[in-house]
Structure 1
Amino acid sequence: MTTYILRRLVQTLMVIVILSYVCFSLMTLMPGDPVELMISANPKITQEDVVRLRAFYGLDQPTYMRYFNWVGEIAKGDLGYSRTYRIPVTEMMGPSLKATFVLSMGSLLFSILIGVPLGIYCALKPNSKMDYVVNMFNFGGISLPSFFLGIVLIIIFSVGLGWLPAGGYQTTGMHYDSWFAEMLDKAKYLILPILSLSVQSIGRFSRFARSAMVEAMRNDFIRTARAKGMSEKVVIWKHGFRNALIPLITIVAISFSSVFSGALITESLFAYPGVGRLIYTSIIGNDFNVAMISFIISIAMVLIMNLVADLLYGAADPRISYK
């Protein structure tokens, strides 16, 4: 297994390098580099100053040279400065990653706790009234765009009823007496974004769980386990559910990769200060360093979680070998 993990880590590193170069090249094609912004801010700037500034920022070099220089700075621990906020990127990414982690993990856990049991229940009672109702909800949830659901939730619970805030992260200017008071205040800002993100995930998890469980319960070893006199609980959870874990591990691992990449549209809609909203604002504002670091984190999380999923396959099914 050690050889397999090392090989996958090397492959992951290669993919990150290739995709980061592609993203870097696309970012360089965007209009509005730092010198152009300086020219627009100071019309009296001379051509000699423009040439000097382009050489100073390395903008006169080819793309691959600029990429290697950028990677060299990252290797030294320097992620650069934000053009928009004039602060180091590390100071911006920390709070945004924390906020996105709370939102995405809350949504993911809520989706798993609701979606997977619903899917298993429907698999054990196929073609029942409950199965039809849950399937209808699943198809509706998968088809419903999160931004549309978010707008509907804001109109109902914020504008209409006034129960929940329409956006933000916490009450501005509020001083907390305890961590519990802080948690309660921030929790009410998470309810609508989590609901907006979870509806699609619940439908997806429920469909995958139902399909995998139905397939597992049709196998011969299930009939053999029942013929041996095993209790229905042991048959379902020890033999059926464990064999249905493979597709569930895949979909959960892929969903978990979004924990640090953020939900771009949802975070922007609810003005939530996470990585997704940071990526959006950095692209709009041509904040090169922030956008690139955010992209790298997103790419790395997807690849790492794919590796974790492959390793969990072996834990769920002993027949899988990594030799």
Structure 2
Amino acid sequence: MLLRYFIRRLLWMIPFLFVVSIVVFALIQAPPGDFLTTYVAKMAESNEGIDQATLERMREQYGLDRSLPVQYWKWISGLAVGDFGQSFEWNQSAWSVIKSRLPLTLVLMLSTFIFAWGVALPIGIYSAVRKYTVGDYVVTFFGFLGLATPNFLLALVVLYLGVRFFGVHMGGLFSDEYEGEPWSLAKVIDLYKHLWIGILVLGTAILASLIRIMRANLLDELSKPYVTTARAKGMAEWKLILKYPVRIALNPFISIIGIYFPALISGAVVTAVVLGYPTLGPLMLQSLLAQDMHLAGGILMIMCSLTVVGMLISDILLALLDPRVRYD
């Protein structure tokens, strides 16, 4: 049953991503001009000219002289076989540019995800069980503070505190001696010595949101008759809470996994720029500004795929967690 459900969802991903690709291509092409328009403008700013013959040759080389349907078909047919096309700005395969930043992006995303979910779950349970106590008010205060504080502002504060009081620049992901070196255990340890700042900064808003979600749903479950009945039968309080209300309150907690997967890339653009992280967020911003169609389109399609994969994971986890959820 689970395998059939999984295969069916995978098959549904194909038409969904096809429709998404049309929307992505239309959005990238929506601004006036193209990559060469932006390129000529940059050349003009630096007082360098480019003759019309060279411009026409470049337009033909990049396929920008073709109609939009032809450009789209060439791009999407390439994606179907794993060819992301040529990055105009980097003058190399778009996939080679993306894959150089994808591993670090996934490490940051998954680490932030684990941190936020792992911390939010026990705090949300505590806040609900000890409602209207000093601890609950403290959690609520910092929750609202986390939601109200922009991630990039928190990143700037952390960088300032590091330089001002410790004399250490906390930006980047590696120490100088590990930049460009092959992967090793020492390099992974050095990565996490720098990465914890990004995890903390990016995880703050997500953590605050998840705590509020867990608290609200658990409070709703704790007021239901089955909890009162279980207490009346003498079941231990924490065993009761963890076995029944928490399990049901986890449903919305898990169902938003698909939303936060791509949000950790798109929502971290400014933060990654501030912290100097070589991830997909700043690369996506740069490619959109340059109208580098293949590179921007490839990154956006990866983000959409992460959304679909995240929703699939959350649906499967919900079905395994709650017997009321059926695969059919």
TM-score by length of 2: 0.87
SS of residue in 1 equivalent to 2:276: coil
Match of 1:43 in 2: 50
Letter in structure 2 aligned against 1:215 = D
CA deviation profile, 1:213-241 (whole Å, cap 9, x unmatched): 11111222212222232222320111121
Q: 5+ residue gaps in structure 1?
A: none
Task: Establish whether residue 63 from structure 1 lines up as the match of residue 68 from structure 2.
Answer: yes
Quote the offset at 1:84 in angstroms.
2.5
Match of 1:140 in 2: 145
Contact 1:205–1:251 (CA<8 Å) still a contact in 2?
Answer: no
- For residues 303 and 183 of structure 2, what CA distance do their matches in structure 1 show? 34
Contact 1:122–1:130 (CA<8 Å) still a contact in 2?
Answer: yes
- For residues 174 and 5 of structure 1, what CA distance do their matches in structure 2 show? 41
Quote the offset at 1:21 in angstroms.
1.2
Q: 1:169 to 1:218 in 2, by over 3 A?
A: same
Match of 2:130 in 1: 125
Match of 2:28 in 1: 27
Contact 1:35–1:50 (CA<8 Å) still a contact in 2?
Answer: no
Q: 1:202 aligns with which of 201, 207, 228?
A: 207
Contact 2:258–2:306 (CA<8 Å) still a contact in 1?
Answer: no
Task: Establish whether residue 268 from structure 1 lines up as the match of residue 261 from structure 2.
Answer: no
Equivalences for residues 209-224 of structure 1 within 5 A? 209-224=214-229
Q: 1:169 aligns with which of 157, 173, 176?
A: 173
Equivalences for residues 278-317 of structure 1 within 5 A? 278-317=283-322
Quote the offset at 1:77 in angstroms.
2.8
Q: 5+ residue gaps in structure 2?
A: none
Q: 1:239 to 1:69 in 2, by over 3 A?
A: same
- For residues 16 and 164 of structure 1, what CA distance do their matches in structure 2 show? 44
In percent, how many aligned pairs have the same letter? Answer: 29
Match of 1:160 in 2: 164
SS of residue in 2 equivalent to 1:138: helix
Match of 1:179 in 2: 184
- For residues 82 and 178 of structure 2, what CA distance do their matches in structure 1 show? 35
Contact 2:256–2:314 (CA<8 Å) still a contact in 1?
Answer: no
- For residues 172 and 85 of structure 1, what CA distance do their matches in structure 2 show? 25
Match of 1:151 in 2: 156
Match of 2:233 in 1: 228
TM-score by length of 1: 0.88
SS of residue in 2 equivalent to 1:85: coil
SS of residue in 1 equivalent to 2:312: helix
Contact 2:268–2:281 (CA<8 Å) still a contact in 1?
Answer: yes
SS of residue in 2 equivalent to 1:161: helix
Contact 2:121–2:211 (CA<8 Å) still a contact in 1?
Answer: yes
